[in-house]
Each structure stands twice: as structure tokens, then as C-alpha cells.
């Protein structure tokens, strides 16, 4: 079977591996779609992000969906032919964090396509994968591309949980890549009454308006785009910082009301923060890392029509053209979510 492997920055190869067989409690899945994530792009463009670097060849990918192809012993469902979204999160279930319900902080996490541990955890951009039944969510009548969006949507649902009740709140989203756009979508569904979004691409900002932003601003072409929100000590109750850029967070602080909550999702390396201004406003800074149970919630919300992610899927490219897919996904002037098809 074919797999997509990153060897170093800009060194992406389609290689072959042996076809796996499912064991007890497992299913083999013929992959249908895989979304290229921001972390995949960091591995492709830079060989890693922050202190996390590629130290050996690694199969990329963790936003995936496909059809069950074969089942192992003890598996009654899902049955062959079922479209499933596959959670890349495989916590050990026995460490101190797993037993406390914080599986996203598992000490022995096996998360597809992660160079955090060594040896690296190989990813899911492959024609076939064997997964535990517990990882699989029946995707019903979703398209494979929609089903593959369950992972980034779960990331945002976890972040929304960090933010707390969004009903009636005023929300600012900085960075309108797939995560930022999903944050707009989730905030609107959760009852936010005013949502603004900033980015450096008019294309992504147009998508933000399409999925529910009331106002947008291009910070690359507009001077002080958030100044109108700074009167009376600020306007926004919640900031979803999705860019990982220190200047995005710093410029948002004057527009936040005292006691506002900052949820940091963007991962771009260390950030220098305006701590004195944040302290004076008594802002709450919360990190948000991965997810666990939210994955299945994400699938259910898409299946029931509560959230429509279709507008964010802009391109589908076959795996043999993986490098072209990654180059396109890196271009925020024309792409939001690029799906690799298998």
C-alpha cells in the first residue's frame, strides 16, 4: 500500500508499506479522505514546529476517514462498508491523567503523525490503516471529506469548552485558517451574538463571513483594525487565538473587556505576551490542547446538521500528487482545507 512520508522540510515522498491485518477488537479501514492540518504543514514546510522536530521519516496525517474493509475477532460493528471517522487520539487509559478524565494529556499518548515522542508516532496518510474499534465513529451519510473534519472540529469543541458558556457573548477570532473558521462556526452555533475575525488573507476572511462572522478585518492592509473595539476598556468577552502569532494576541488585548477569556489554540512556537496589560484587565489565559470525547460529539453534530463544515473543504487532490496538495494547502490565498484522497 502507498503512504505519504515526510523525511525533512520540503522532502515529501509517496512510499510503499505492507498491508496490515486487523487484530482482536480492531478493524482495517480503506482510507477515503485525509485533511492536511496545520501541524502537517509545519512538518512539510519547516521540518517541525517549536522544539518538535522530525528526527526520522514519519508518515503524516491525522484527520482521516474511510470505509471499513475487514474486521478482527470480537468485532460486531462497524461492519464492512461502513464509513467511519477515525480518531487519531489513542491514550493509554491507565496513566494518572487518563484515570482523571484528561486523556488529551495522556503520558503515553499515541497520536497519529506526531514527532513529539521518539520513535515518532506514524500517521494515517496511507491507503489502509488498522484502528481500534474505540477510535471509530460511524459517519452515517456524511461525505468522507466531512467525516475527516471531525478531528479539527473536535479541537475547536474542546477549546469552546475551555472558554465556557458562549451564549450572548462577543467573540473575537484571530487567524482564519481551518481552526479559526471552525471557531467562528462553533461560536455562532453556541449563541455568540457578535463575532469578529482577523487574518492576513482576504480569501479566508471571506470564508469567515460565509460561516458566521459579523465583521472581519485584514490586519495586513488595515491600520489598527481593532481600534474601534477598544472604547470603555474593550468589547469582546472571549478571544480564540488561532494564529500562533504573538502580535495577533498582543493587538487583541486592548479590544478585550476586563475579565475576558483568551483561549490559545494556535501553535507557532514561544510567544512574548503583554503581561502587564493582561494583568491590569484581569484577563484569563487558557491553553487548549487536542481533545478526546469531543471527537464523537463532532461527528454527531455534523451528522445531525447542527454544524455544516462543507464550505471549508476547498480542494481534493489524489495522494500521488501529495506534494502539490501540501503546496496548495500552504497557500491561504486560495485554500482552506485540502483533502488528500486515497
Instruction: Tell me the C-alpha to C-alpha distance, in Å, between residue 49 and each of 53, 57, 269, 313.
Output: 6, 16, 7, 24
User: Quick one: average pLDDT of 231-244?
Assistant: 97
Question: Of 297, 302, 339, which Cα lies nearest the Cα of 319?
Answer: 339
For 212-234, what is each residue's pLDDT tens digit? 999 999 999 988 999 999 999 99
Is residue 183 within 8 Å of 173, Cβ to Cβ? yes
For 168-199, what is each residue's pLDDT tens digit? 999 999 999 999 999 999 999 999 999 999 99
pTM of the model: 0.95
Which ranges in the chain are annotated with CATH 3.40.50.720? 154-287
For 262-280, what is each residue's pLDDT tens digit? 999 988 778 889 999 999 9
User: Quick one: average pLDDT of 282-287?
Assistant: 97
Which ranges in the chain are annotated with CATH 3.90.180.10? 2-149+309-341
With 80 as the cut, is the pLDDT of residue 122 above it?
yes
Dihedral through CA 183, CA 187, CA 192, CA 197, nearest 10? 20
- Looking at the DSSP bridge assignments, the partners of residue 170 are 194
With 80 as the cut, is the pLDDT of residue 3 above it?
yes
Instruction: Tell me the C-alpha to C-alpha distance, in Å, between residue 80 and each of 68, 75, 87, 242, 341.
Output: 5, 11, 18, 38, 20
For 159-170, what is each residue's pLDDT tens digit? 999 999 999 999
pLDDT band at 51 (very low <50, low <70, confident <90, very high): confident
For 79-105, what is each residue's pLDDT tens digit? 999 999 999 999 999 999 999 999 999
CATH architecture of 154-287: 3-Layer(aba) Sandwich (3.40)
Provide φ and ψ at 123, rounded to 5°: -90, -165
For 66-81, what is each residue's pLDDT tens digit? 999 999 999 999 999 9
Q: Are strands 236-241 and 170-174 parallel, antiparallel or unpaired?
A: parallel
- What is the model's pLDDT at position 33? 98
User: Quick one: average pLDDT of 4-26?
Assistant: 97
For 298-337, what is each residue's pLDDT tens digit? 999 999 999 999 999 999 999 999 999 999 999 999 999 9
Query: Has domain 2-149+309-341 been given CATH number 3.90.1150.10?
Result: no
64 three-state secondary structure: strand
- What is the model's pLDDT at position 50? 82
Amino acid at each position: 500500500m502507498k503512504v505519504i512520508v515526510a523525511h525533512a522540510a520540503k522532502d515529501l515522498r509517496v512510499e510503499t508499506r505492507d498491508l496490515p491485518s486487523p487484530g482482536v477488537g480492531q478493524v482495517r479501514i480503506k482510507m477515503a479522505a485525509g485533511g492536511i492540518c496545520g501541524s502537517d504543514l509545519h512538518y512539510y514546510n519547516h521540518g517541525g514546529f517549536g522544539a518538535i522536530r522530525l528526527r526520522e521519516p514519519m508518515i503524516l496525517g491525522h484527520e482521516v476517514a474511510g470505509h471499513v474493509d475487514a474486521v478482527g475477532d470480537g468485532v460486531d460493528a462497524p461492519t464492512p462498508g461502513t464509513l467511519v471517522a477515525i480518531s487519531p487520539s489513542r491514550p493509554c487509559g491507565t496513566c494518572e491523567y487518563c484515570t482523571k478524565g484528561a486523556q488529551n494529556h495522556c503520558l503515553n499518548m499515541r497520536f497519529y503523525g506526531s514527532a513529539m515522542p521518539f520513535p515518532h508516532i506514524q500517521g494515517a496518510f496511507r491507503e489502509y490503516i488498522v484502528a481500534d474499534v474505540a477510535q471509530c465513529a460511524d459517519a452515517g451519510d456524511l461525505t468522507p471529506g466531512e467525516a475527516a473534519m471531525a478531528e479539527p472540529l473536535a479541537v475547536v469543541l474542546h477549546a469552546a469548552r475551555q472558554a465556557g458558556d458562549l451564549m450572548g457573548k462577543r467573540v473575537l477570532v484571530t487567524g482564519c485558517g481551518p481552526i479559526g473558521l471552525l471557531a467562528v462556526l462553533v461560536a455562532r452555533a453556541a449563541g455568540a451574538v457578535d463575532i469578529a475575525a482577523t487574518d492576513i488573507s482576504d480569501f479566508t476572511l471571506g470564508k469567515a463571513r460565509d460561516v458566521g462572522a459579523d465583521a472581519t478585518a485584514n490586519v495586513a492592509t488595515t491600520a489598527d483594525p481593532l481600534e474601534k473595539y477598544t472604547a470603555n476598556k474593550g468589547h469582546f468577552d472571549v478571544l480564540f487565538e488561532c494564529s500562533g502569532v504573538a502580535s495577533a494576541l498582543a493587538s487583541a488585548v486592548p479590544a478585550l473587556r476586563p475579565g475576558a477569556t483568551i483561549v490559545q489554540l494556535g501553535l507557532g512556537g514561544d510567544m512574548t505576551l503583554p503581561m502587564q496589560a493582561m494583568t491590569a484587565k484581569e484577563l484569563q489565559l487558557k491553553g487548549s490542547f487536542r481533545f478526546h470525547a469531543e471527537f464523537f460529539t463532532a461527528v454527531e453534530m455534523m451528522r445531525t446538521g447542527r454544524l455544516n463544515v462543507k464550505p471549508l473543504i476547498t480542494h481534493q487532490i489524489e495522494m500521488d500528487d501529495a506534494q502539490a496538495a501540501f503546496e496548495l494547502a500552504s497557500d491561504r490565498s486560495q485554500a482552506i482545507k485540502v483533502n488528500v484522497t486515497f
